[in-house]
Chain A
Amino acid sequence: DAKTTQPNSMESNEEEPVHLPCNHSTISGTDYIHWYRQLPSQGPEYVIHGLTSNVNNRMASLAIAEDRKSSTLILHRATLRDAAVYYCILRAALYAGGTSYGKLTFGQGTILTVHP
């Protein structure tokens, strides 16, 4: 399974930008990079995803390295509500039978603490 590596924890102050890194050196050419976050006692929530180009949405931005072996989730202005565990995962684009399609591997994620 394609795996990702993230720092165990990061801290930020409210209203400041946060850059959450993720390494995925074994990424294949058809793997999408997805980010989800999980608040206590809730299911994970979608944040953003991309394939090759940088992506922006109302929640965050995703910066993908040119060789696609790493990516960075950017929260432009952290709020207390952004405190969560952030997971970076790889998802195959196409089903080709017998592959790891759909078999997601979650690492331990990054615990983000936001200080008031």
Chain B
Amino acid sequence: KAGVTQTPRYLIKTRGQQVTLSCSPISGHRSVSWYQQTPGQGLQFLFEYFSETQRNKGNFPGRFSGRQFSNSRSEMNVSTLELGDSALYLCASSVSGSGANVLTFGAGSRLTVL
């Protein structure tokens, strides 16, 4: 079956702009979570969605937001981009988000902010 698909894979933005990243989970998976990965901070949790509801959020400013659609696809948005937002953004899906389920990660969207 198809894996987790993230688009776009690479993008370059300038400071002050906004960006929207998309994540299509594995069919049947209703939980989608997002992570930011940088060389200095490692993998950091952004938020987790289940059935269009955000169940948990990491320690990121309000410029980072997300949503989930009825088909479980998810988007995250970063407004007023800063240089420090340059990172690999990963999403992962699982059946329900329970620890009994396996997380499947996408290949990520690499954002560069100039």
Which residues of A come within 8 Å of B, CB atoms?
Answer: 30-32, 34, 36, 42-46, 49, 51, 87, 90-95, 100-109
* B44 interface contact, C-beta 8 A: yes
Given contacts A104-B35, A106-B42, 9 further A-B contacts (CB under 8 A): A30-B99, A34-B99, A43-B107, A91-B99, A93-B100, A95-B98, A101-B97, A102-B31, A107-B42
Which residues of B come within 8 Å of A, CB atoms?
Answer: 4, 31, 33, 35, 42-45, 48, 50, 55-58, 90, 92, 97-100, 102-108
**A31 → chain B closest CB, angstroms:** 6
Contact B45 A87 (CB under 8 A): no
When A and B form their complex, what is the total count of cross-chain residue pairs whose Cβ atoms lie within 8 Å?
Answer: 75
Residues of A within 8 Å of B97, CB to CB, are 95, 101-102
Contact B106 A104 (CB under 8 A): no
**B6 → chain A closest CB, angstroms:** 8
Contact B43 A95 (CB under 8 A): no
Inter-chain CA distance A104–B37, complex, in Å, is 13
